[in-house]
Amino acid sequence: MDPYQSNGFIGKEITTWIDAKRRVHNELFEEAEKLNADCYQILSSVKINKDDLRQTLVACLFPRCMELFQATYILVERGMSPSANIMLRCLMETMFVLCAIAKNDDALNAYIDNEELERLKNANKMLSHKATAFSEVQLVDIEKIKSEVEQKKIDQKIKKFTTEDFAKKAGLHDWYLTAYNVTSRAVHATAKDMEQYLVINEKEDIKSVRFAPTDRETSTVLSDACESLITSLEQFLLVFGKDTTVCGEHWEKVKPLMQPV
């Protein structure tokens, strides 16, 4: 039994595995760390115009991208491939929204309007369960919220924006159809994704359950995460009227490290 199999990903024994695999993918890990450091430096250099809604929203979404990038990095480093894919999907989804808001007024307005639609959705849920779970909530207040949002939805012709809609407005629909779609297997725990936990012999008999760290997707996931952060950084810089040369520099470093699809 390998030493890390006593406590899995949270035991101290995993550090030996991490050190070995980091050496294999050293260039990519170093580039990810440099990109992350540059993002911190850039983030601290911007000044937000409080009257500019686009700047305000992008300034909030970009550190979320950074956090999700770091989470993906940590999970990849520990060999947690399915979890890293899940976090990568979150990163790409935030990238779609950030880039769409940066480029498109409809997306900017839809991002705010989606909050109103969520209020309506929650109000309808609470009213449909009013006899049980929400007995202490003033139903008249919920009805008022529902009425107000429904009227606003009609008056302003509010339409729900999906993740795919944001991806299209961001000019990243190809990402949605490819890299983002691939991660759905891990997010939804599909039967196909569960096959990785089984050790099957040549007779297709199940020999055992396999649950161990893997670097099988390290290059793919981490390079996709780098590209997502670079793409988000570029739009962040454009919104604040700053030079985007650093994005091209990082892209040139990441590109040769990416695995062919």
Which pLDDT tens digit goes with each residue over 222-240?
999 999 999 999 999 999 9
pLDDT of residue 132: 55
**Average pLDDT of the segment spanning 15-34:** 94
Lowest mean pLDDT, pick from 119-133, 159-173, 205-219, 223-237: 119-133
| Residue ranges making up the domain that contains 198 | 3-104+170-257
Mean pLDDT of the chain: 85
**Total domain count, the chain:** 2
pLDDT at residue 247 above 90? yes
In percent, the amount of the chain with pLDDT more than 70 equals 79
Residues 122, 234, single domain; the answer is no
Residues 179, 61, single domain; the answer is yes
User: Residue 96 and residue 102: Cα distance in Å, rounded?
Assistant: 10
Residues 91, 187, single domain; the answer is yes
Residues 92, 128, single domain; the answer is no
Using 50, 70 and 90 to split pLDDT, how confident is the model at 112? Answer: confident
**Average pLDDT of the segment spanning 138-153:** 60
pLDDT at residue 5 above 50? yes
Using 50, 70 and 90 to split pLDDT, how confident is the model at 102? Answer: very high
Token representation of residue 247: 């994005």
Token representation of residue 237: 């810089």
Using 50, 70 and 90 to split pLDDT, how confident is the model at 58? Answer: very high
Residues 94, 197, single domain; the answer is yes
Token representation of residue 94: 């935030």
